[in-house]
């Protein structure tokens, strides 16, 4: 007999397959409408089976965050991989070059020292290594200053074993946008900054053989996809990742063109947790609640879940208090310690010891990285348990 979600030992990571399916198709529809390639970032699910589903749905290839993830995905048959991230170290440079001999692989750079190491590693390699230069368009994380990109591209282009495929940026500063208009304005600023660099440096870009030598101009991010942000001509690729599963932080963008409740409908992954204790109700006091009141003691009302920061992470969500939403009860995880999530305030008394609750996490990607298994579900049934193959592949 099929296993039921309610019978799973907790805390458990559950993933609703119908919702993932809808999310993947929503992503493809957006990319199609905007005339760009969708190259989903697989850091969210870290799983070759979902990566394959994304390619089957129409993705041009996948992204990974780490060489270990790239190797794992290549082993699993994913043959077009971009790592929008930089590495340093001769061993890692050699692994990047080795990947390019096995699959269609590209890696990011934003510093001449990285280029020098990749160039040395690629000497004598049969297939050149494709390189994308990361541009800082305002996120102040990785990324070269726009004024330094031409020189980086020139060095890549002149290195015998490297090819300059294009430029990319990550527009993380769109996340705190106030509303859709603000999101569009922020995203447009990122697009204009990246396009200005792409246009000014075209002479130094080999481009993409598959696109007749046209440069790849690539941006990331899920909010822009969910809120259907318009893209300017010249952007060729989007790399959202979180949209496959979504989370509490993305709910407001998922509902940007509809209702908040619709945003929650797009959330495919939840942490299933048990209510292990309720404190402050009549049942929790051996002497009865009345006794506490007679003693004049404040009733320490709270419900306690068996999911703490080691299941939900401590990440906060823009626009939300607390550490996760009990979607079926409208309650918030107010406090966390490693193994405990505490729900307090009005409404907690709706929870009973032994209840199993679905917690929509603030930020799904690091949550997935905490679980070795995800349970794929349809409705109340568990369809399959799959390994989170990329879990902990940080090197």
Contact residues toward ligand PLP (CB under 6 A) are 41, 84, 170, 220-222, 239-242
Residue 99: its H or E element: helix 90-102
Q: Which is nearer to ligand PLP, 236 or 242 (CB)?
A: 242
Q: Which is nearer to ligand PLP, 62 or 342 (CB)?
A: 62
CB of 255 to ligand PLP, least distance (A): 16
CB of 220 to ligand PLP, least distance (A): 3
Q: Which is nearer to ligand PLP, 250 or 274 (CB)?
A: 250
CB of 43 to ligand PLP, least distance (A): 7
Q: Are 107 and 83 in contact (CB under 8 A)?
A: yes
Q: Which is nearer to ligand PLP, 250 or 389 (CB)?
A: 250
d(CA 28, CA 251): 19
Which are the contacts of 75, defined by CB distance < 8 A and separation ≥ 6? none
Using Cβ positions, the residue closest to ligand PLP within the complex turns out to be: 220
Q: Are 317 and 247 in contact (CB under 8 A)?
A: yes
Q: Which is nearer to ligand PLP, 222 or 332 (CB)?
A: 222
Q: Which is nearer to ligand PLP, 315 or 355 (CB)?
A: 315
Q: Using the 8-state DSSP alphabet, how is residue 200 labeled? A: H
CB of 108 to ligand PLP, least distance (A): 8
Beta strand extents in 187-330 (DSSP E only): 216-220, 237-239, 269-279, 302-305, 325-326
CB of 183 to ligand PLP, least distance (A): 12
CB of 337 to ligand PLP, least distance (A): 27
Phi-psi label, residue 391: left if phi above 0, alpha if psi -120 to 50, beta otherwise: beta
N-term to C-term CA, the chain: 40
Q: Are 304 and 49 in contact (CB under 8 A)?
A: no
Phi-psi label, residue 77: left if phi above 0, alpha if psi -120 to 50, beta otherwise: left
CB of 394 to ligand PLP, least distance (A): 14
Q: Which is nearer to ligand PLP, 114 or 222 (CB)?
A: 222
């Amino acid at each position: 007999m099929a296993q039921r979600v309610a019978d799973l030992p907790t805390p458990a990571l559950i993933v609703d397959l119908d919702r993932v399916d809808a999310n993947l198709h929503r992503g493809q529809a957006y990319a199609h409408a905007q005339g760009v390639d969708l190259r989903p970032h697989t850091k969210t699910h870290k799983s070759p089976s979902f990566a394959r589903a994304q390619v089957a749905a129409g993705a041009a290839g996948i992204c990974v965050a780490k060489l270990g993830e790239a190797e794992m995905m290549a082993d699993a048959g994913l043959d077009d991989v971009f790592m929008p991230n930089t590495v340093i170290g001769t061993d890692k440079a050699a692994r990047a070059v080795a990947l390019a001999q096995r699959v269609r692989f590209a890696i990011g750079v934003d510093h001449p020292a990285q280029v020098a190491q990749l160039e040395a590693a690629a000497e004598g390699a049969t297939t050149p290594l494709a390189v994308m230069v990361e541009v800082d368009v305002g996120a102040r994380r990785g990324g070269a200053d726009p004024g330094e990109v031409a020189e980086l591209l020139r060095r890549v282009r002149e290195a015998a074993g490297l090819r300059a495929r294009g430029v990319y940026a990550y527009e993380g500063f769109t996340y705190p946008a106030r509303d859709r208009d603000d999101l569009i304005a922020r995203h447009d600023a990122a697009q204009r900054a990246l396009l200005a660099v792409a246009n000014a440096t075209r002479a130094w870009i080999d481009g993409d053989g598959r696109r007749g030598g046209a440069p790849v101009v690539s941006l990331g991010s899920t909010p822009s996809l969910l809120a259907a942000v318009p893209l300017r001509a010249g952007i060729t690729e989007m790399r959202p990742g979180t949209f496959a599963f979504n989370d509490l932080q993305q709910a407001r963008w998922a509902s940007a063109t509809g209702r908040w409740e619709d945003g929650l409908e797009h959330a495919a992954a939840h942490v299933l947790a048990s209510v292990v204790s309720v404190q402050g109700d009549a049942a929790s006091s051996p002497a009865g609640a009345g006794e506490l009141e007679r003693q004049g003691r404040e009733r320490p009302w709270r419900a306690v879940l068996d999911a703490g920061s080691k299941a939900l992470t401590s990440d906060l969500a823009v626009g939300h208090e607390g550490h996760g939403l009990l979607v079926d009860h409208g309650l918030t995880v107010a406090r966390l310690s490693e193994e405990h999530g505490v729900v307090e305030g009005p409404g907690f008394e709706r929870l009973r010891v032994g209840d199993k609750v679905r917690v929509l996490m603030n930020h799904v990607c690091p949550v997935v990285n905490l679980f070795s298994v995800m349970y794929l579900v349809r409705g109340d049934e568990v369809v399959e348990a799959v390994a989170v193959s990329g879990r902990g592949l940080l090197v």
